[in-house]
């Protein structure tokens, strides 16, 4: 099953290595990782998308992450109300004749063209991963010269609907 797990970490050198090394050592399959600073100085947030077999594996993943000294909090937010976004940049082969056609394709996705050359345009799209996937598939027939994705970053919405039971693996509460 695919899970979205966030980890709040101390922004120290080697932390990313520590965390990815841990996941690799314990055979967790990482689909994507994104890392960036947070509102608090010295504190960063990592968002992982991981594929785990079952709940026990997931529990092991969060517990092992929590054991790291530089990890402050781990949350599996998959089942919560979340805002999750990914950014992708796609360089598509396009001569001036079909530029408008591409413009038409990307519009419903609220993507934008951020660079134009004689042979290509670069499209920027943000959104959930499946939306990004969908746009890439639509652009693929034109010929993709280059593609870069950031991986998912996410947090919980300000308001959480009342659900009987959330799965929570945080040990710090």
Site string for another protein, 134-163 (x = CB under 8 A): ------------------------------
Does 72 help bind another protein (rule: CB under 8 A)?
Answer: yes
Burial of 62 (0-12, 13-18, 19+ CB in 10 A): buried
Q: Considering only 60-68, 78-86, 134-142, 152-160, which stretch makes contact with another protein by CB under 8 A?
A: 60-68
Does 16 help bind another protein (rule: CB under 8 A)?
Answer: no
User: Rule CB under 8 A: which of 104-123 touch another protein?
Assistant: none
Provide DSSP, 10-72.
E--TTHHHHHHHHHHHTT-EEEEEEEEE-SSTTEEEEEEEEE-SSHHHHHHHHHHHHHSTTEE
Kindly list the residues in this chain that would bind another protein in the complex (CB under 8 A).
Answer: 9-10, 13-14, 17-18, 21-22, 25, 56, 59-60, 63-64, 66-72, 171-172
């Amino acid at each position: 099953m695919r899970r979205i797990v966030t980890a709040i970490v101390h922004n120290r050198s080697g932390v990313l290595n520590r965390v990815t090394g841990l996941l690799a050592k314990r055979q967790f399959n990482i689909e994507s990782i994104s890392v960036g600073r947070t509102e608090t100085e010295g504190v960063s947030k990592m968002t992982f998308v991981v594929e785990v077999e079952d709940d026990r594996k997931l529990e092991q993943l969060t517990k092992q992450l929590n054991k790291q000294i530089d990890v402050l909090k781990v949350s599996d937010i998959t089942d919560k109300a979340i805002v999750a976004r990914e950014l992708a940049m796609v360089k598509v082969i396009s001569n001036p004749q079909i530029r408008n056609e591409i413009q038409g394709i990307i519009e419903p996705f609220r993507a934008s063209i951020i660079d134009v050359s004689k042979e290509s345009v670069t499209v920027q799209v943000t959104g959930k991963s499946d939306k990004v996937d969908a746009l890439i598939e639509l652009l693929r027939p034109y010929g993709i010269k280059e593609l870069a994705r950031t991986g998912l970053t996410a947090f919980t919405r300000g308001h959480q609907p009342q659900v009987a039971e959330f799965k929570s693996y945080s040990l710090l509460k």
